[in-house]
Structure 1
Amino acid sequence: MTATLLPPAVSQPSETELKTLFQTQQEWRWRAAQTGVAERQAVLRRLHDAIKAGRVALADAMALDLGKSRAESELTEIHPVLEELQFIIRRLPRWMTPRKIATPLMLAGAQSEVRFQARGVTLILSPWNYPVNLALSPLIASLAAGNTVILKPSEKAPHTSRALKELLEGVFEPRLVAVVEGDGAVAHTLTTLPFDHIFFTGSGAIGRKVMAAAAENLSSVTLELGGKSPALLHPSADLKTAAERVAWGKLLNAGQTCVAPDYVLLPTNMRDAFVLELDAVIARRYGDHAWQRAGPDYGRMVDTASVERLQKLTDGSVAQGARVALGGEFDPEARFISPTVVTGVMPEMPLMGEELFGPVLPVLTYDTFEDALALIRRLDPPLALYLFAEDEAAVEQVKHETTSGGMVVGGTVIHLINPHLPFGGVGSSGMGNYHGEHGFRTFSHERAILREPKPSPVRLMYPPYGRPLPRLTAWALRLLERQAGPRE
């Protein structure tokens, strides 16, 4: 069920105010960059304690914005952020330690190292679908790397945006971390400022605009986008397991997850049995129709427009020959879509034309496994690929013959939970990655440093090159040249 409460009033900051805030952080960025391990750990611990103290307020805000139950908010938003904080705090000393690098013979005596240096003033544009997790996870990485942060949460989750603002303003001064509320115009103005790095999570269409704006200042960017992530079933797949895990990944947060299975691709002769398994899973996990509306386990769409968009895509596909096998109820006023499975979907139908971002699951079939792989390759590279197969040769084939931001064999979505793995897209599903050390690196500049000794062999390469020493050096280097590996 969703509570009703008017969203908090938001005062749109002016361009002058945004520029002043940016300048404030620019003036502080070198002080932030020069902090040591202990100082950064203390900053992260303060944030950790504030999130623990404010977790109820955050969960209440997400219930208002998205109809999330307290349990789902804890499992998918608050607890993962606290775990990420603990993971980074424990490992930050090792990550910040300069790495000694080998030096080639021609630079004998020199010392080389790589130091991780803060990028500077960073901008995080976070989405509405996981409004706490996807705002705070990159913020944690940026602070760990020694940056200052301006966070612009999505205006589509206004209660959560306000809760984040109040939480972070209670922990940090705006010269280190500031939260800016407002609409898309505010976000656009921010992207025109010369940030040292911009981290954006959202749609590909907006991601392109962010990248274009960043290019004007040559700001580096990380784009966490989305796409149509397939759930691919091989003929050897366990249907019961596949249905259980596809249903969970698809219906989590009412399907509003960037890595949710967007469609299912399976052998023609397995379709009907798979739909029956899905029906049983949905009834077992989310209850009957009345309980889906009244109970705490199934969320709501973010707005009426999202419901209307998915209804239009579904109706358009049905008009072209698809069939609603399960669900099919769209209630824009209540922001409700029942768990919906559509069979007979073809690649050219409306449901396959864009990322769905909701609880509508198209089911496509294939005749041969090679046909399935060809379709996946023909579509844009997805943010995730989910494979269900008991045949190890098929698993290796998919690894070698497809690409995606991430891949899970035998499950969905859970690769996000592993902080040792990088999370990010490829091609149109995004660029760059984060989580754990990968986030620390994303928000750091890897600075190469070399110290040349006073008695240096480099002097053997100084001109004029007709002298014996440079000629002898060139001859010796040619003798040392070796070709490694096979020649054919």
Structure 2
Amino acid sequence: MTETTVNPYQYLFNAQKARSWAIARTSYKERLKKLDKLQSALQKTYKTAIRQAIYDDFKKPIPETDVSEIYLVLKEIKHAKLMLRRWMAKHRVETPIALIGTSSYYKYEPKGVCLIISPWNYPFNLTFSPLVGAIAAGNAAIIKPSEMTPNVSSLIAKIVSDLFNEDEVAVVEGEVEASTHLLKLPFNHIFFTGSPAVGKIVMKAASAHLASVTLELGGKSPVIVDGTSSVKTAARNVLWIKGYNNGQTCIAPDYVLIHEEVKDEFVKHFKYYCDKFYGEDPEKSNSYSRVVNLKHFNRLKEYLKDAKHKGGTFEVGGEEVHEEECYIEPTLISNLPEDALLWKEEIFGPILPIRTYKDLDEAIDYVNSKEKPLALYIYSNSKSTIDKIMTETRAGTTGIRNNGIQYTNHHLPFGGVNNSGIGKAHGFETFKAFSNQRSVIVRHSPGLISLLKPPYTPFVQKLVDITLKWL
């Protein structure tokens, strides 16, 4: 039996490792050519197939697919192409007095063979956006897409096999077992997007080989709405991002903290925009997608059951739950006790708990009682309130009077903090994630440093004293 059949994971890794030095030596033009090829394939050849595969997996509306899956990847490609020459260049730095006679710079070099483990919620975007950075940085990459979106996973494998040799970029499909096998291999970098629980498993596996990691995770992202804000705008924006992709978005709000004086107004506008966005029956709307599979549907159904059992007030929705379609209507719940499941687990669905506060410190203390979120949203027209929240909380990203759009700016670093993620991505940050920043110092003449060698005479000490004085 060949190595391919005995251990296909090791075979692929070995093939890419053998090729990795050649890939690392590729020029700016060669990497640009690869990005051009990928751009053309996504923009022309596979656009219709991408839309269909994502719809087949969870009925995602085409406009959402075009924006969140195709457009964002194409923006990453175009930005990388525009900036790649600068990213690959030497970056010179200042020379301190003590090092007169030298010059210093750093350059970004490829890490080598990388593993990209992508999730199911934005399966196309969160596979190819990291791949753009890996290619731009000059790496080989193995991709493990999610088994929960089989149609997209199969299409990703086809696209990659059509565009690249497997010793450069390859796709491994399969269940959790495939990821387990891959994580045993000594990759140079692992880029993982998923839950904090699985992120810990990935990080532990990476530590065995001292591999660097980028972990894009999630957690419970809050929205704080005060009495000075436009409550109508807050309700509209929160519902939009909570309904987008059926709430299966890592930066979607997980709960709303709202001043008690404007809570009823928020509920009124939330209901109004539910009807406006999705009609009286969202199940019939072509703008409302579905929960990805039965496993996640049952998880969300259990949250609703728990909320009802514990006396939650269903302000909007919560009744129409249909297993055959994996359909759950947009739902807003208030008056939930602290032991409700919706306060404990990341929701990842179209269910939103809301609680009131009297004093801003109360809201801030509640946010800080939980793990640091990937996103925190603020609706206020008070500069002092915004400044206080920004100063006294921690989050990976923040939107002020908006929800979710911070992800779409590839000039902004995107990522979490601690439990919500490690490392940053988007644009230059993705390129850096797949690169080693190598420092270089070049000696041109003897300079001062050559005089500071043994024996340490009084003259040498005097030179040291002068150097210390002029630091």
Q: What letter matches 2:173 in structure 1? A: E
Deviations 1:63-108 (A, max 9, x none): 0111112221101111111111111101111111110111111110
Q: State the AA in 1 paired with 2:460.
A: P
- 1:234 CA displacement: 1.3
Which of 311, 325, 330 lines up with 1:321 in the alignment?
311
How do residues 252-271 of structure 1 correspond to structure 2 at under 5 angstroms? 252-271=244-263
Change (3 A) 1:282 1:401: same
Secondary structure of 1:462's partner? Answer: coil
1:60-459 aligned at under 5 Å gives the runs 60-289=52-281, 292-328=282-318, 329-459=320-450
Give the CA deviation at 1:14. 6.2
Q: Distance in 2 between matches of 1:186 and 1:260?
A: 29
Shift of 1:320: 2.0
Q: Retained in 1: the 8 A contact 2:102–2:441? A: yes
CA contact (8 A) 2:28 2:85 kept: yes
Three-state SS of the structure 2 residue aligned to 1:370 is: helix
1:65–1:14 Cα change, 3 Å: farther
Q: After superposing the two structures, state which structure 1 stretch, 310-319 or 16-25, moved more.
A: 310-319
Q: Structure 2: how far apart are the matches of 1:346 and 1:204?
A: 24
Moved more, 136-145 or 453-462: 453-462
Residue 476 (structure 1) aligned with residue 460 (structure 2): no
User: Does structure 2 conserve the Cα–Cα contact (< 8 Å) formed by 1:15 and 1:189?
Assistant: no
Q: Deviations over 1:194-215 (max 9, x none)?
A: 0000000001111100000110
What is the DSSP-based 3-state SS (H/G/I as helix, E as strand, rest coil) of the residue aligned with 2:419?
helix
CA drift of 1:321 comes to 2.3
Comparing 236-245 and 326-335, the one that deviates more: 326-335
What displacement does 1:57 show?
0.5
Contact between 2:196 and 2:420, CA under 8 Å: does it hold in 1? yes
- Structure 2 distance, partners of 1:98, 1:359, is 47
2:65 and 2:6 mapped to 1: Cα distance? 34
1:395 shift after superposition: 1.1
* TM-score, normalising length: structure 2: 0.97
Q: Once superposed, which parts of structure 1, at least 4 consecutive aligned residues long, lie more than 4 Å away?
A: none
* C-alpha distance after superposition, 1:366-411 (max 9, x if no partner): 1111100110111110000111111111111111111101000011
Return the letter of the residue paired with 2:382: D
In percent, how many aligned pairs have the same letter?
Answer: 37
Q: SS in structure 1 opposite 2:213?
A: strand
Partner of 1:4: none
Q: Which runs of 5+ in 1 are unaligned?
A: 1-12, 482-488
1:15 and 1:276 map into 2 onto residues whose CA distance is: 61
Deviation at 1:164, TM superposition (A): 0.8
User: Does the Cα contact within 8 Å between 1:257 and 1:357 map onto a contact in 2?
Assistant: yes
Q: RMSD value over aligned CA atoms?
A: 1.2
Letter paired with 2:223: A
Structure-1 separation of matches of 2:463 and 2:317: 77
- Alpha-carbon distance between aligned partners in 1 of 2:377 and 2:301, rounded to the nearest angstrom: 25
CA positional deviation for 1:455: 2.0
Could you tell me which runs of 5 or more consecutive residues in structure 2 were left unpaired when the two chains were aligned: none
Distance 2:5 2:380 in 1: 54
CA distance in 2, matches of 1:148, 1:452: 34
